[in-house]
Structures are given as C-alpha cells and as structure tokens.
Amino acid sequence: MGRIRFGRASVLLIAGLYFVTPLLSTLWFTVDNSPSGFSLDAYRQIFTVPGLWPALQLSLLLALGTIALVFLLLIPTVVAVRLGSPRLRTVVELTCTLPLVVPSIALTAGISTVLRWCNDNLAPTPFYRTFLLTQNGTFPVVLLLAYVVMALPLAFRTLDAGMRALDVRTLLEAAQNNGASRGRAIVTVILPNMRTALLNTAFLTLALVLGEFTVASILGYVPFAVWIVNGNSAGQGPVTVAVSIVSLLLTWLLLLVLSAGGQRRGGGAPAGS
C-alpha cells in the first residue's frame, strides 16, 4: 500500500508540475520588469491596448455562430439516429470525426483553393456579391463554416454521450401519452435532460474558437488568437500574454460556473453526459 500511495503521489506531482510550470512561467513573464522588478503594468494596459476589443468581439461572434450552427446540425441528427436509424450511428460518427485526421493547414489549403475557384468563376454571375459578403471581415462566414467543421468531432462525441445516457424512447412515449407531439416532446423533455451535454458542447466549441490560430491567420482574419500572436511580434509581448492569462482564468471560471449550474439543475434527473 505504501508503494502504491507513493506511486500515485509521484504521478500527481509530475502531472501537476507539467501543467502548472508553464503557467507560472508565463505569469512571471508578465510581472517581471527587468529595470524596476515586479510590475503590474501589463495588466493595467489591457483595457487600453489597441486592437484587443475588435479581435475579441470577432471571436465571440464567431463562437456564438459556431455554437448555434453546430446545435442546428447535430441535435436533429443525433435525435434522428437514436430514434429512427441506430445503424447509421457509425456512419455519422465517422463523418463527424473525420476532421480529426485532417490537419488545419490542409483544411485551410482546401478552403483557399475553393475561394480562388469561386473568385475566378463567379465574378460574371449575380452570386459574386454574396460570395464577397461571406468573406466580410466583420463576420467572415467562411471562417465560421471552417470552425463548424473543426468543432464537429468534439461536439458529436459530447452530444452522442448525452443522448446515449438517456432512455429516449421511454421519455418520448411518456410525453406523447400525455398529449405532447413528437417535436414538442423532444424540445420540452429530451433536450432539457441533455442540458449538461449541451453546455459542455457549447463550452468546448467556445474554447476551440477562442484558441484557433492557423485557419484564421492564413485566411487573413484577426480574431483573438491571431491578435495575441501579432501583438507578440509587434513588441507587445507582456500585454498580450497578460490578456492570454486573463482569458484563461475567465474560461476556467466559465467552466466552473457551467459545471456547477448543470449539476445543481440536474438534481436527480438523468445526467446529460
């Protein structure tokens, strides 16, 4: 028993150091000012540094759009597969997890090729203006679609796990026996029992969009992650790293709030995941 406890403590210590050391080093970088020593100037400049709020606003808008589109695509699919065609689950799962094996740089190269083809062939057509609007910098739909594809693997796994944890058919029959239509039963009975899975899906998608760099950078957009890297290159390293730390803390706080809210509302009801 003594050896087992020592082994567990060693593993926990190594894992803790592995995760905490980079964070502490990053924190030290933001507060260490070589001439004057300890300084919080990097954090005081967060609210005045140029470019932060437009970049953050763009990332949040893209995150909200990605979450909405992922829910719109996957929730009906997961429900339909569960209730009507369980044999198709493997096909849907393979399709949704396919982006995991496609590198971001390859995905971006494909998007760039499609955009060039559309630019060359749609110019004489009435669709060209719509094509240009999809690349508008204030809300680039093309970037939104790329994020939806990238979010599919995690979103499907989370929603599918939440759905499989429920006795969907019994809940649906009970609701229909009480006079609810099939659609209303899904909205008012099935989805509320999946709230933890829905919240987890939304959070994972938000984290993915806030941290994604490759696709946005190559396509020429400046959301939050690209702004941070550009700021480091422009000599604003401590400020942009301080923004990263604050965003990381806010993300953790959001995760704790969502987890606590999901557990409190869940009570004795079936868990969503």
CB neighbours (10 Å) of residue 109?
A: 12
> What's the pLDDT score for residue 273?
39
Mean pLDDT, the chain, whole residue set: 83
C-alpha angle 213-258-139 in degrees, rounded to nearest 5: 35
C-alpha angle 202-105-204 in degrees, rounded to nearest 5: 10
Is 0.85 topped by the overall pTM? Answer: no
Which helix (DSSP H) or strand (DSSP E) does residue 37 occupy?
A: strand 37-38
More confident residue, 270 or 86: 86
Q: In this structure, are residues 208 and 147 in contact, taking their beta carbons and an 8 Å threshold? A: yes
> What's the pLDDT score for residue 211?
85
Is residue 92's pLDDT more than 60?
yes
> What's the pLDDT score for residue 143?
92
Is residue 66's pLDDT more than 90?
yes
Given pLDDT bands bounded at 50, 70 and 90, which one contains residue 234?
Answer: low
Q: In this structure, are residues 162 and 198 in contact, taking their beta carbons and an 8 Å threshold? A: yes
* Span 201-219, pLDDT tens digits: 988 898 889 888 889 999 9
Phi, psi (rounded to 5 degrees) for 49: -70, 130
**Range scoring the smallest mean pLDDT among 2-11, 93-102, 127-136, 152-161:** 2-11
> What's the pLDDT score for residue 141?
93
Given pLDDT bands bounded at 50, 70 and 90, which one contains residue 2?
Answer: low
Is residue 265's pLDDT more than 60?
no
Closest C-alpha among 155, 147, 154, 149 to residue 58 = 147
